[in-house]
Amino acid sequence: MNYRLVLNILGKLITIVGLSMIAPLMWDLGQGEGVVLPFLYSLTITVGIGVMLSIFVKPGGDVRYKEGFTLVALAWLAAAFFGSLPYVFANTFPSFADAFFESMSGFTTTGASVMTDIESNPKAIILWRAITHWLGGLGILVLFIAILSQLGIGAMRIFKAEVPGPTKEKIKPRISETAKIFLLIYTALTITQTGILLLLGISFFDAIVQTFATVATGGFSSRNESIGAFGPAVQWTITVFMFLAGTNFALYYLAILGKKPAVFWQNEEFRLYTYITLAAGGIISVVLWWTGYYESGEETLRTSLFQVVSILTTTGFATVDYDQWPLLTKGIIIMLMFVGGCVGSTGGGLKVGRLLIMSKQTLLELNRAIHPRAYLSLKVNGRTVEQEVLASIFQFFYLYILVFMLAAIYMTGLGIDLITSFSAVAASIGNVGPGLGLVGPAENFAFLPWHAKYVHSLLMLLGRLEIYTILVLLLPGFWRRV
């Protein structure tokens, strides 16, 4: 293990986190809400440590897989730690466990919160929450690769450890170019949504906070009522952009490059993603309309689609307290928490692409039972899925469910009811945010004991880095010299 190289690169990443605090610092200088010093202290400490690691720890050698996995895990932990400093110095929360939970939730784009009254906090603090989302959305590692492409071949190892999904196809020969393209798409979505929200009449502050949380599929809002505080036009706009953020970013590049929007519908994962959205939204709309929850058909459809897209893409925004809906709709919501967005998106969960491959493999095995002598191969988008990829998907599914069950048992051991326990764990490991019961959209995670907040912080990290990146560090062989 090349520790010096890991620490040197980690120092640069920490510096980026620190420099990001300039925006809320400048905001409070203009607003005068009394958090200039907390941000100044946080910025000085974070940038100071980052610069010292970058300058005084001289790197040597290349980033191998061991360094890649270690760097990714340490980067997210460091981002969460240093990102919690503004909350600590501003006394935003009563304990460090709360501050760390909120920071980890931001950087992992989970959106689970322990903040009980959002609007009573200084706007600079709310802006910082949104910035942690934006930085974490595409991954601070991918962002770093895009800026500092001199990492060379080692960048691919970091990218493979960070980017979620069963495949990490490079859409450009150099991984640094791929990262830059993703960042450009991410920025374009950010600018476009912000512009539309401003045209719809909401303030610049509300527009930027909601946008950062949307394109990152995060869920931290600037309002206590989340998106329910805004009108129908804003809700429809955010629904569309949540759906776009949950789409594979590579499809945007391919569509622009070939000038063929049809590339989206030609992609099997995108089609399934769309079908799930329409089916779940349709069923919930019918149930809510039948039971008379809302006055108009437009409100019923808007509310249903918003919540379906929000949960499916693991954004976690809310316009209503869906915990008050009929049981059937809540069952659908829990299932959507496990599905997640598309591969190559900012969403969490199992990913639509994985579920597509597992479903196809199941059908293939059923056909093989009927036709044992037939040659059957699993194909997605016209390409044969390799056995190595297939095995890794089923292994990931097993680990995901195993971690979910162990964490759910831990939660019930605290005396928390089953609905709250299961939905809280599903929301944390799936990077969704709110769950049901005591962690529903009208509630938060503040009631949890301090140790449970650290457990859920770990679940968020496991979900964001797709379990393998963290669990591989626990293997004795990982640290053994070869």
Task: Label residues 221-237 b or e (16+ Cβ within 10 Å = b).
Answer: bbeebbbbbbeeebbbb
> What is the rounded CA–CA span in Å between residue 118 and residue 220?
10
Locate the domains of the chain by residue range: 1-163
Which secondary-structure segment (H or E) carries 349? none
In the block, residue with structure tokens 């301090």: 450
| Cβ-based neighbours of 53, under 8 Å, separated by 6 or more | 7, 8, 10, 11, 12, 14
- Please give the C-alpha separations between residue 288 and each of 93, 235, 300, 326, 436, in angstroms, as whole numbers: 38, 18, 7, 8, 18
Which three-class secondary structure state does DSSP give residue 467? coil
| β-strand partners of 383 | 380
- One DSSP character per residue, 278-301 reads HHHHHHHHHHHHHTT-SSSHHHHH
Given a contact cutoff of 8 angstroms between Cβ atoms, the answer to whether 89 and 122 are in contact is: no
In the block, residue with structure tokens 């194909």: 379
Tens digits of pLDDT across the chain (482 residues): 777 888 988 999 999 999 999 999 999 999 999 999 999 999 999 999 999 999 888 777 676 778 778 888 899 999 999 999 999 999 999 999 999 999 999 999 999 999 999 999 999 999 999 999 999 987 754 654 544 444 444 444 544 554 555 555 555 555 667 777 888 899 999 999 999 999 999 999 999 999 999 999 999 999 999 999 999 999 999 999 999 999 988 888 888 877 788 889 999 999 999 999 999 999 999 999 999 898 899 999 999 999 999 999 999 999 999 999 999 999 999 999 999 999 888 888 999 999 999 999 999 888 888 888 777 788 888 888 888 888 888 999 999 999 999 999 999 999 999 999 999 999 999 999 999 999 999 999 999 999 999 999 999 999 998 888 888 888 777 777 65
Output phi, psi for 165, to 5 deg: 120, 160
> What is the rounded CA–CA span in Å between residue 427 and residue 439?
9
379-380/383-384 β-pairing: antiparallel
Q: Is the pTM of this model over 0.85?
A: yes
